[in-house]
Amino acid sequence: MPWSQDPLFQLVKSLSKSEKRNFKLYVNRFHSSEDKKFIQLFDAIEKQNEYNDEKILQKAPGINKNQLSNLKAHLYKQLLLCLRLNSINSDLDIYIREQIDYGKVLYNRGLYVQALKIIDKAKQMATEFEKLILLLEILEFEKLIEGQYITNSIENKAEELSNETTALTKKIEGTNRFSNLSIRLYGLYLKVGHVRNEKDFHFVNEFFKSNLPVYNFEELGFYEKLYLYQSYVWHNYMNQDFLMCYKYASKWVELFEQHSNLISSQVELYLKGMHNLLAALFMIDHKAKFDLTLKQLENLETEAFIHNNDNNAVLFFQYKYLNKINHHFMRGTFTEGAKIVEEIENGIVYFKNKLDHHRVMNFYYKIGCMYFGSGNNRMAIRYLNNVINQKETSIRSDLQCFARILNLIAHYELGNMEMVEYQIKSVFRFLSKIEEMNLVQQHVMSFLRRSFTMNARQIKSEFIKLRSNLIKLQDHPYEKRAFLYLDIISWLTCKIENRTVQEVIHEKALGNSRNLTGVV
């Protein structure tokens, strides 16, 4: 394990200034001066840029090598205890679980009535915010207490608890069926992206139909509806039916707006719904609605549930900037859009231990598209290489594929013909390996291969021929997928008319034509 990936090091480095201050106060309050060697360890780690055992022992002479492993484990535990205490007022799940723990303490002392009062309060909150798993735990605890302490209403209470548990268990089972379908569809999307051919289309549809639970919509609860809408979003997104994707993403967001009390306790799902609504609006090129929804998303930045929770902050960063990039793609304002790249880079560095490779790769591909659109091919190549050089090619092989093709075109634009000739063979091997070669890619690769022997007049004629062939494929049910990743037709138009890509796409945007450069 690299030193910088040490779990304790990562946890210490994740702390804000106020959290570090609270930890010091927590230690001084609950620990004696003789029991504070782990604070020396904390201070030593906090000052490091990369974790190093030897330097820690030098900076903290009171710690010997044999103690270090146990002290690290103790410090890790104390940090978690302190963070848990600090989270009680801001995390509903932790607060409810604390009430359950208090009830258990009272139960263990034989104070049954007091225990029932405590967990009744927890039960009300779990019911209000639909914390189903916690609610089931509370009901089981209630049954345990009622079995030990006889009340005047034990007979009615027993029947009531039994009915509640049966109904809740049924609801949890239903929620699990829908959530399982949703996560499996999302995993399928991460693996293959949009459907590539008729075989993919039938596979995705058969998978969806065979795994979709039988249901009566009127009987569904909040989470069952939520995961149902999610499932339809992933299904339609893979099938490139973006109008239906918009329909269900809208229902997803509207569901939260109808149950606004649940937003603060399920921020990540609300943000993801907003993001998928924006993705659908981007794909159907509804600029006015897109801008309105993006503004609604950006307005959430001041909410406490964003900046007081690192997970929510990471998600907000991703969704805000991916959609700010899409805003510029829709209008062809690539040069202006490139101005936010530094902010994105800073965010990637700041959240480097919390962003998954898929999201970072997505950012780099979109930034590469942005620079290509602005005419800065060298910067485009730099960012596209960040995608191409990813070792894990099973995730988003679609991005890997189109990053390689756009990289070839950027080298072609720079006149790096030797590089183009060399990389064409490599790209062919990659496409063959992942069985990705479609007609659009075949046309582009064939043109690039032939371009080495053409003069200026021949090349222009070939540009016209290539554009004509690709326009025929724009509405093909499977070939149109390529245009979601790369607006190759606009590039060809700029070569034929001797204009910039930015001018062509901006003009298309003003004419309300669809511009689908980049992905979501």
Contact 213/174 with Cβ under 8 angstroms? yes
443 alpha-carbon distance from chain centroid: 33
Percentage above 70 pLDDT, the chain: 92
Q: Does pLDDT of 516 surpass 50? A: no
pLDDT of residue 1: 39
pLDDT, tens digit, for every residue of 351-394?
Answer: 887 888 888 999 999 999 999 999 999 999 999 999 988 776 55
Tell me the pLDDT of the chain averaged across its residues: 87
- Residue 518 and residue 365 in contact, taking contact as beta carbons nearer than 8 Å: yes
Residue 246 has pLDDT above 60, yes or no: yes
For the segment 90-108, the average pLDDT, to the nearest whole number, is: 94
> Tokens standing for 69?
């492993």
**Residue 2 confidence (pLDDT):** 42
Domain ranges of the chain: 3-87, 92-175, 191-314, 403-520
Q: Does the pLDDT value for residue 302 go beyond 60?
A: yes
Give residue 483's pLDDT. 76
Contact of 492 with 467, CB cutoff 8 Å: yes
Q: What is the mean pLDDT of residues 107-132?
A: 93
Q: Is the Cβ–Cβ distance between 519 and 323 less than 8 Å?
A: no
Distance between CA atoms of 409 and 423, rounded to whole angstroms? 11
Looking at mean pLDDT, say which of 52-61, 168-177, 438-447 comes out highest.
168-177
Residues, the chain:
520
Mean pLDDT of 411-437: 81
Q: Give the up-direction half-sphere exposure of residue 247: CA atoms within 13 A in the CB hemisphere.
A: 9
Q: In the predicted model, is pLDDT for residue 259 greater than 90?
A: yes
pLDDT band at 32 (very low <50, low <70, confident <90, very high): low
pLDDT of residue 223: 95
Which CATH code, of 3.40.720, 1.10.3210, 3.40.640, 1.25.40, is assigned to 191-314? 1.25.40
Report residue 426's pLDDT band, with 50, 70 and 90 as the boundaries.
Answer: confident
Give pLDDT, residue 517.
Answer: 42
Does 399 score more than 90 pLDDT?
A: no
Instruction: Give me the mean pLDDT over the 255-269 stretch.
Output: 93
Based on DSSP, count helices (H) and strands (E) in the chain, helices before strands: 27, 0
Predicted local distance difference test score (pLDDT) of residue 281: 96
Cα–Cα distance, 231 to 225 (Å, whole number): 10
What pLDDT, on the 0 to 100 scale, is given for residue 137?
96
Handedness of CA 281, 285, 289, 293 (dihedral sign): positive
- The residue-averaged pLDDT of 469-478 equals 84
Residue 515: pLDDT band (50, 70, 90) is very low
How many other C-beta atoms can be found within 10 angstroms of the C-beta atom of residue 283? 22
Mean pLDDT of 24-30: 81
Q: Are 222 and 259 in contact (CB under 8 A)?
A: yes
Q: What is the pLDDT of residue 398?
A: 72
**Per residue in 432-452, pLDDT tens?**
776 667 788 788 888 888 877
- Predicted pLDDT of residue 312: 93
Q: Which of 72-81, 450-459, 500-509 has the lowest mean pLDDT?
A: 450-459
User: What pLDDT, on the 0 to 100 scale, is given for residue 152?
Assistant: 55
Express each pLDDT in 131-153 by its tens digit.
Answer: 999 999 999 999 998 877 765 55
Please compute the mean of the pLDDT values over residues 118-126 and round it to a whole number.
95
Burial zone of 464 (CB within 10 Å; 0-12 exposed, 13-18 middle, 19+ buried):
middle
pLDDT reading at 480 higher than 90 = no
Which residue matches tokens 């795994």?
A: 211
User: Among 42-51, 252-261, 506-515, which range has the highest average pLDDT?
Assistant: 252-261
Mean pLDDT of 302-318: 90
Sign of CA dihedral 89, 15, 273, 225: negative
Q: Residue 146's pLDDT is what?
A: 82
Can you give the pLDDT at residue 395? 60
What SS3 state is found at 88?
coil
In the predicted structure, residue 519 carries a pLDDT above the cut 50? no
Q: Inform me whether the pLDDT recorded for 166 exceeds 90.
A: yes
Q: Are 464 and 508 in contact (CB under 8 A)?
A: no
Per the model's pLDDT, the better-predicted residue between 84 and 451 turns out to be 84
pLDDT at 513: 42
Neighbours of 304 (CB within 10 A): 10
